[in-house]
Chain A
Amino acid sequence: MSSLEIRDLVVALTATPEKPIVKGLNLTIKTGEVHAIMGPNGTGKSTLSKAIAGHPDYTITGGDVLLDGKSILEMEPDERARAGLFLAFQYPSEIPGVSIANFLRAAVQARMAEGEELDATGYYKKLYSKMDLLKIDRKFTSRSVNEGFSGGEKKRCEILQMAMLEPAFSLMDETDSGLDIDALKIVAEGVNAMRGEKLGVLLITHYQRLLDYIVPDFVHVMYDGRIVKSGDKNLALELEAKGYDWVKTDLATA
């Protein structure tokens, strides 16, 4: 079992390190668990996930992030990725001219020991089976990464990458937004198929609907850069019924 431990984390924009966005956040995720984070726009959910992945726009000014007890803060983004961290982006980038097949192939290869050769047949077999699972047309393998993809296609492509790279921890930032009902089910099925002893998930979402399909073990409410409430899946339902004002008033009275 692995663990991802976020300890008193303070994150600011690299440009304005004195103004924290994430303001002392604590959360521990173990493989086998699915944690959902909900919270109003602009509370720092994406900031949290990108900072953990090592995005250069963000600087960690306090606290630590530990993977199996070891700090990852000194690691480059690609080292963190190879150590088992995956970020499904809220807004995935387009990479013109680089096909999905070649991109993923390079990513898979990057995880192999030096001198080790990628088994092309095995790779394509796996790629196709994951694409089938996510109901992505095989023609997509030759399309440039995310270029000209619809919003939903981009999100599905993120999950495809996750399925191929088999991370220990996946931070999924609003993977449900932009998906139609059918696509949502497909993506959820894909994630559920990966769920298990080897995967820990942090699911950032605004909607209870996703949590109907990917049932979380824990739900956290993030507000103003902190986790202000934690509970089980029922917390999401309560939140849906009462809105964020409820958390705010709760905070005020606390």
Chain B
Amino acid sequence: MSDIDTLPPADETAVNPVGGIDQAVGDFQYDVNYEFDAGTGLNENTVRYISSVKKEAPWILEFRLKALKTFLEKPMPTHWATTDLNNIDFSKIRYYLSQGQKPKRTWDEVPDDIKKTFERLGIPEQERKFLAGVEAQFDSEAAYSNIKDIVAKQGVIFCNSTEALREHPEIFKKFFGKVIPTGDNKFSALNSAVFSGGSFIYVPPGVKVAQPLQAYFRINAENFGQFERTLIIADEGSEVVYMEGCTAPKFSTSTLHSAVVELVALKGAKIQYITVQNWANNVFNLVTKRGVAHEDAEIKWIDCNIGSRLTMKYPGVVLKGKRARGEVISIALANDGQHQDTGAKMIHAADDTTSVIVAKSISVGQGRSTYRGQVHIPKHLKGCKNNTECDALLINSNSRTDTYPAITVRGDTHAVQHEASVSKVNEEQIFYMQQRGLTEAQAMSLAVNGFVNDLVRQFPMEYSVELKRLIDLEMEGSVG
């Protein structure tokens, strides 16, 4: 697959107005044309440029610049994470791509396997071209704005984060960056410096949003999802389900994806956040996701990761109020050349809080999966519960799986349960299924689907169907 990021721009200064700007002029109003992007590489100018294109308030620019500093200061977390992180070349990445500036390629240049995948997933023609980077923009507003209008009648705010910053600054500012502080980790800092795109949702007290909200409607170049920033606030007693992006293989022109997602469930509120991601296998997918659950609130992350070169993602819940409940359901599939480093974090910070983690990983061929869990229950609390289950499935002997469940529990009124298993799809099972007429790939796919089946049953219908198809495709690719 060609990697646009690494191609030098034809003429940097000619296409990028920021190139020759005097940095000293802090409040300079660039005469920005949306047809330009921020070029490659990351420095203060890049950040200023992004902020000015988005016509942001000064406090956001300041926030971004501070974040940039933090990002630059923080070392790569290679003391615990893989050294593959050192292969990210930050100077070759394009941090902002505005509309109209998506690198152009023709449909003929799109690799066949990607086309095939689109077909198998039943993605509409128009969307295929956009997803493949052939078209600059997929105007799906019309198709999806419907839902936006429906929920607006209930007082729900549902828009992209840029719009939210402009139109709802008071709510935004109150919660933004509070769940995941800029300095949480190197990549949350990076995101805080260059974020663009992502969703903003506010659900008023007591409102139960009937249909899951999807990010589809805001697909366009900007939101193509490199550094998206999502903030969801469910006010007291409200309920919302959010489904992130789409499951199409993100035939990304970028090799780095680093999102930050913050959830706030106020007293008695419920948030469910569902992700099924399928990245091209050159992508570093380094995402920080965390929610805060107040009294009697509930946050549930459903996170499926397929593809990518390296995914590091540990959705977490801070159980801040009494009887709050947090749940992470994670499915990761690592095929040849891929490393899924996933898990969950549960920080108990109030009495009688409950957390559940179910993580299932599948390693195929040389694929590698790592489970990292962190459950923290301090001594002064009472009646907390955690249940952690992590299961690994290995398909053929070369694949590797590691488990690092860090469970720190202090105090004696808590109930903590931890189970882990590693199983293998053996040759005998594959042969058995083949003997019934299934191809080797179909057999493996069925075994994998069987392994995750109890989790997938909890997914919304279309997501479980798509996940199944994605697994089929992965397995097809993994046999000769």
Contact B450 A78 (CB under 8 A): no
Contact B453 A98 (CB under 8 A): yes
Binds B, one of A105-113, A121-129, A204-212, A213-221: A105-113
Out of A78, A97, A98, A144, name the residue touching B437 (CB < 8 Å). Answer: A78
Bound-complex Cα distance A144 to B451 (A): 11
Bound-complex Cα distance A125 to B447 (A): 26
Contact B446 A95 (CB under 8 A): yes
| Known A89-B432, A92-B432, A93-B432; contact A98-B438, beta-carbon cutoff 8 A | no
B69 CB to closest chain A CB (Å) equals 49
| Known A56-B427, A93-B428; contact A81-B446, beta-carbon cutoff 8 A | no
Q: Which residues of A contact B449 (CB under 8 A)?
A: 97-98
Whether a CB of chain A sits under 8 angstroms from the CB of B434 is yes
- Most chain B C-beta atoms within 10 Å of own C-beta, residue among A77, A92, A103: A77
CB contacts under 8 Å to B, within A69-113, are 76-78, 81-82, 86-87, 89, 92-98, 102-104, 106-107, 110-111
Q: Which residues of A contact B447 (CB under 8 A)?
A: 95, 98
Please give me the residue from chain A that is nearest to B432 by CB atom: A93
Chain B count of residues within 8 A CB distance of the other chain: 25
| Known A78-B440, A93-B428, A93-B429; contact A53-B450, beta-carbon cutoff 8 A | no
Out of A78, A89, A111, name the residue touching B434 (CB < 8 Å). Answer: A78
A34 CB to closest chain B CB (Å) equals 20
Whether a CB of chain B sits under 8 angstroms from the CB of A175 is no
Whether a CB of chain B sits under 8 angstroms from the CB of A165 is yes
Q: Which residues of A contact B437 (CB under 8 A)?
A: 78, 81-82, 107, 110-111, 165
Please give me the residue from chain A that is nearest to B454 by CB atom: A97
Bound-complex Cα distance A97 to B455 (A): 10
Whether a CB of chain A sits under 8 angstroms from the CB of B79 is no
CB contacts under 8 Å to B, within A39-84, are 53-57, 76-78, 81-82
Chain A count of residues within 8 A CB distance of the other chain: 30
Contact B436 A107 (CB under 8 A): yes
Whether a CB of chain A sits under 8 angstroms from the CB of B399 is no
Bound-complex Cα distance A94 to B450 (A): 11
**At the interface, is chain A mostly helix, strand, loop or mixed?**
mixed
Whether a CB of chain B sits under 8 angstroms from the CB of A161 is yes
Whether a CB of chain A sits under 8 angstroms from the CB of B431 is yes
Q: Which residues of B contact A54 (CB under 8 A)?
A: 434-435
Q: Which residues of B contact A106 (CB under 8 A)?
A: 438, 442, 446
A155 CB to closest chain B CB (Å) equals 14
- Most chain A C-beta atoms within 10 Å of own C-beta, residue among B438, B449, B451: B438
Bound-complex Cα distance A53 to B434 (A): 9
Bound-complex Cα distance A81 to B434 (A): 7
Contact B431 A55 (CB under 8 A): yes
Contact B436 A97 (CB under 8 A): no
Whether a CB of chain A sits under 8 angstroms from the CB of B433 is yes
Contact B439 A96 (CB under 8 A): no
| Known A93-B429, A95-B429, A103-B446; contact A78-B451, beta-carbon cutoff 8 A | no
Contact B451 A97 (CB under 8 A): yes
Q: Which residues of A contact B450 (CB under 8 A)?
A: 95-98, 144
Bound-complex Cα distance A55 to B449 (A): 23
Q: Which residues of B contact A98 (CB under 8 A)?
A: 446-447, 449-450, 453
Bound-complex Cα distance A92 to B431 (A): 10
Out of B427, B428, B438, B454, name the residue touching A110 (CB < 8 Å). Answer: B438
Q: Which residues of B contact A110 (CB under 8 A)?
A: 436-439, 442
What are 18 contact pairs spanning A and B, CB under 8 A? A53-B431, A56-B427, A77-B431, A81-B435, A81-B437, A86-B435, A87-B435, A89-B435, A95-B432, A95-B447, A95-B450, A96-B450, A97-B449, A97-B450, A102-B446, A110-B436, A111-B437, A144-B450
Interface residues of B (CB under 8 A from A): 423, 426-429, 431-440, 442-443, 446-447, 449-454
- 8 further A-B pairs in the complex, CB-CB below 8 A; given A96-B423, A103-B433: A54-B434, A78-B437, A89-B432, A93-B426, A98-B446, A98-B453, A103-B436, A161-B436
Pairs A-B, 10 closest by C-beta atoms: A97-B450, A98-B450, A93-B432, A77-B434, A97-B453, A107-B436, A110-B437, A81-B437, A78-B434, A93-B429
